Amino acid sequence: MMTITVRKFTAKDTTAWDEFVEKSNNGTIFHLRSFLSYHIDRKFKDHSLIFEKKGKMIGLFPAAIIEEKRENILHSHPGASFGGFIFIKLSFEDADSIVKALENYCSQNKFHKIFFVHSPTIYHNKTNDTMEYLLHWYKYEVKEYYISSMIDIRNSKKSIEHLHSRKRRYIKNYLSNKKFAIKWENNFEHFYPILIENKKKHNIKPTHSLNELIKLNKILPKKLHLLLLYYKNELIGGTLNIIANKRSGIVFYNMINYNYKNLQPAAIQIFESINWAKKYNLDFLDLGVSQQPKEKNPLTPHLSLIYFKEQLGASATIRKAFQKTIN
């Protein structure tokens, strides 16, 4: 058996890291160093890991140190939607060695826990569940389940085919109404006030500051695509779509001016986002998680949001967060 070594990421690894992510089976924009390092208002103690065999990268693990109750946790990078192990091609033997190497590293470096959100399968170019099997074998606990929704773009010729009959009526009205207009332009200054007002309704703040969105757009050109929806020349909503990798895109924000809720801007924006995904030859459009973060049980489903997404042709997919205590 060939020994697999693990070491901490350093700045000199940046180019090789990003090249590996771009070639990988399951890497996304959220794993690129340019994405992980963009934060302005939030600082993280990065502790990402590189796994090597014969001096060559075979796996990555984007992570940071989180201190909780005097314990150090090797945690999925808090600046990314999901993390976990990133690989190009992984045999059972190598995957087994990587998990063992990770645990040995954590033990030697006084980490008390490992916690990470596994990349959903819709972001995998080729299905490979070897790592998940081994996580269960080595008694990693599925600490959290997140219900997400995705639209399979592959098997329909027209975007309207994804929609429930009621939503189709709204979209047909939109298509025939010349008072509507859409623009694809990354004018985040114009979009951000709507984002702020939407989040206020749920007593939360946006994940990104305005400056962070502007910075992300600069360091990741052609990855962020902002749809702005107008009615009678007034902005009534906006959707930020992100190209996550060659296979999938994600609807990161879908925001509306609630004074125009009766016009169904949220549904219109998803319809146009499906068109966008088709244009970029994506297989899946991820509509994000649908849970109630303010509830005592974080798994509590957001029923109305799930129903809304189902009417747009989405079905459920699961994001899993794994955790293990290191002795």
- Check if 4-139 and 150-319 are the same fold: yes
Rounded to a whole number of angstroms, the distance between the first and last alpha carbons of the chain is: 25
What pLDDT digit, counting tens, does each position of 11-67 carry?
Answer: 999 999 999 999 999 999 999 998 888 765 556 789 999 999 999 999 999 999 998
Tell which wins on pLDDT, 310 or 69: 310
What pLDDT digit, counting tens, does each position of 76-89 carry?
Answer: 888 788 889 999 99
Question: What is the rounded average pLDDT of the residues 158-181?
Answer: 89
Q: How far apart are CA 169 and CA 175, in angstroms?
A: 10
- 302 by Cβ neighbours in 10 Å (0-12 / 13-18 / 19+) ranks as middle
Question: What is the rounded average pLDDT of the residues 95-100?
Answer: 96
> Which residues have CB under 8 Å from 121's CB, separation 6+?
127, 129, 317
Least confident of 19-23, 45-49, 158-162, 187-191: 158-162
* pLDDT at residue 139 tops 60: yes
Q: How much is the pLDDT for 159?
A: 82
SS (H, E, C) the chain: CCCEEEEECCHHHHHHHHHHHHHCCCCCHHHCHHHHCCCCCCCCEECCEEEEECCEEEEEECEEEEEECCEEEEEECCCCCCECCECCCCCHHHHHHHHHHHHHHHHHCCCCEEEEEECCHHHCCCCCCHHHHHHHHCCCEEEEEEEEEEEECCCCCCHHHHCCHHHHHHHHHHHHCCCEEEEECCCHHHHHHHHHHHHHCCCCCCCCCHHHHHHHHHHCCCCEEEEEEEECCEEEEEEEEEECCCCEEEEEEEEECHHHHHHCHHHHHHHHHHHHHHHCCCCEEEEEECECCCCCCCCCECHHHHHHHHHCCCEEEEEEEEEEECC
Checking DSSP bridges between strand 113-117 and strand 71-76, what pairing results, if any? parallel
Q: How much is the pLDDT for 201?
A: 83
Domain 150-319 -> CATH class:
alpha beta
Tell me which CATH homologous superfamily contains domain 4-139: Gcn5-related N-acetyltransferase (GNAT) (3.40.630.30)
Domain spans of the chain?
4-139, 150-319
Question: What is the rounded average pLDDT of the residues 249-261?
Answer: 95
Q: How much is the pLDDT for 77?
A: 84
Neighbour tally for 246: CB within 10 Å: 13
Place of tokens 């709507």: 194
Q: How far apart are CA 52 and CA 5, in angstroms?
A: 5
